[in-house]
Amino acid sequence: DADVTQTPRNRITKTGKRIMLECSQTKGHDRMYWYRQDPGLGLQLIYYSFDVKDINKGEISDGYSVSRQAQAKFSLSLESAIPNQTALYFCATSASGSLDTQYFGPGTRLTVL
Amino acid sequence: SQELEQSPQSLIVQEGKNLTINCTSSKTLYGLYWYKQKYGEGLIFLMMLQKGGEEKSHEKITAKLDEKKQQSSLHITASQPSHAGIYLCGADTGGYQKVTFGTGTKLQVIP
């Protein structure tokens, strides 16, 4: 089984709808991240969480919110989806402490019509 | 904010040829990560470099962080179709694992 899972893998929705993307990890990591990827722009950090009680905004947090329900779960919400939020969304985890690699989920492809 | 530039943006090589991808930072890098992404899929970790002058290899892929810790290169020897994908460098500039990513290099390997 994958260490980092994301649901759904694909989603098409309409402008104005509320959407939740979920991420679960079995690696036991404290740190979790949400990124979005747009063609030609690399990955941009939306939110990150260093533990259950610690939530921080990333580069592009406007229009998004997150919830860290447990160490293993970190969800991303779009309160009112808009077309320019159409992108590939990735969740990642890493261990706390010294520099360590981030492990990525398979991604969620979101299309907002 | 940290800016990472990757070059080239895209690369088409014939199978068996060597190639190099560069990642340049405007700031000192505390950690430099290389990832590979197959189109539309998740990122696969390749290597992490921390020390100036450090060089790591995995199979036919070698990555190096320069002495000043502001540039890294990824070198693939004798490329194969399985090497095709998007290569992304990521940098940690504060040691807090807030990784900033480059825009990626799209590699195609022609049989």
Please answer whether residues B47 and B72 qualify as being in contact, where contact means their C-beta atoms are separated by less than 8 angstroms.
no
Burial of B73 (0-12, 13-18, 19+ CB in 10 A): middle
Instruction: Give the confidence band of B1 by pLDDT, cuts at 50, 70, 90.
Output: very low
- Per-residue confidence band for B59, with pLDDT thresholds at 50, 70 and 90: confident
Short-list A12, A7, A6, A8, CA closest to A86: A12
Mean pLDDT by 10 residues, chain A (113 residues): 88 96 94 89 88 91 95 96 95 77 90 96
Structure confidence at residue B52 as a pLDDT band (50, 70, 90): confident
Q: What is the pLDDT of residue B96?
A: 61
Q: A46 to chain B, minimum CA–CA distance in Å?
A: 11
CB-based contact A106 B42, cutoff 8 Å: yes
A97 CB-near residues (< 8 Å, 6+ apart): none
Residue A83 DSSP one-character state: G
Query: Looking at chain B from residue 18 to 47, which residues have their Cβ under 8 Å from any Cβ of chain A?
Result: 30-31, 33, 35, 40-45
Structure tokens at B7: 């070059």
Answer yes or no: is pLDDT of B2 > 60. Answer: no
Instruction: State the Cα angle at A19 between A13 and A24, rounded to 5°.
Output: 125
Mean pLDDT of B72-80: 96
